[in-house]
Amino acid sequence: MDYKKTDFKSTYFDLFELTEGIYAAMAKKDSGTSVSTGFFDLGNYLIIFDTNIYPGAARDLYKAAKQLYDKDPIFIINSHHHSDHYMGNCLFPDTIPIISTPITLKAIKEEATNQLKHYQETAEVEIKKRKEMLQEENPEWTKREINNDLEFYKYIVDPTFKIRYPNFLINDELIIKGGKKTVHLIPFGVGHTNSDIVAYFPNEKICFMGDLLFANLEDDWAPDKKGTFNAVNPPKLYDILKSLMEKDIEIYIPGHGELNNTKEALQMNMDFIKKYYL
């Protein structure tokens, strides 16, 4: 499938038009964030897919969608409960409903309070550390990453900051038909987390995968190495990926990584799971 990089400028992501009305915001490698998000215009409905953790990334996503379509989103989708995908919710107007599954909402409520407390308790130290890093050469961090981190910690301790929870809950597939396009929001059970939603466009053969798909998996993520593959149930995730492999999809948008993901990317994830977990 042909897609093109747009001229939209963001320090956090590159914006790609996958086809008319469907955009993927792919994280820049030197931005500090690794999360891919996106938005789609169905003709009369504008929808945001995930909101990132960095406030600047969420603002840029909102700005890009508004610039292109001159209207507010009708929905935000939180694909799952990990904070790097939902912390930007509060940068969007409170009038916009946020879609998730009940399981995702419960997990956000259970984990967000402690996670936010940790961020806020460490913010003063982290802000001081980042300011010191700006004054010295650091081969592992770019100035863009450091500044984006500074913005995040200042955002977290701002008295006006609040976590916005999903408030439009689905247990089963939800089909949203617009004037030009139709999207299927498909919830899956235990796999990457206990509940993940994908946004599937059957006519355009595009699927936004959230963290059910990674563009790259390294061997040092294996369970006996320094890292651990971040899935609550790898065998179940394997089954989910296999079911999506069988659909007529030409491009899969990963939750993390570059934009170049066909069925080979799913196969790579399945091979990794098979090698280390099955």
- Going from N- to C-terminal start, the domains of the chain cover 4-103+164-277
Specify the pLDDT at position 212: 96
pTM over 0.85: yes
Give alpha helix (H) positions in the chain: 55-69, 83-86, 102-134, 143-157, 234-245, 263-277
Averaged pLDDT in 10-residue chunks for the chain of 278 residues: 89 96 94 93 97 96 97 97 95 97 96 87 94 84 89 91 95 97 98 97 97 85 65 95 96 90 89 92
> Which residue is listed with tokens 């796999």?
191
Query: Structure tokens of 54?
Result: 């960095």
Specify the pLDDT at position 226: 54
SS3 per-residue string spanning 34-90: CECEEEEECCCCEEEECCCCCHHHHHHHHHHHHHHHCCCCCEEECCCCCHHHHHHHH
Kindly report the CATH class assigned to 4-103+164-277: alpha beta
Q: How many degrees, rounded to 5, is the angle at CA 75 between CA 74 and CA 80?
A: 170
Please say whether the beta carbons of 58 and 73 come within 8 A: no
Nearest to 156 by CA among 53, 75, 9: 53
CA dist., res. 161 & res. 91, Å (int): 9
Specify the pLDDT at position 1: 64
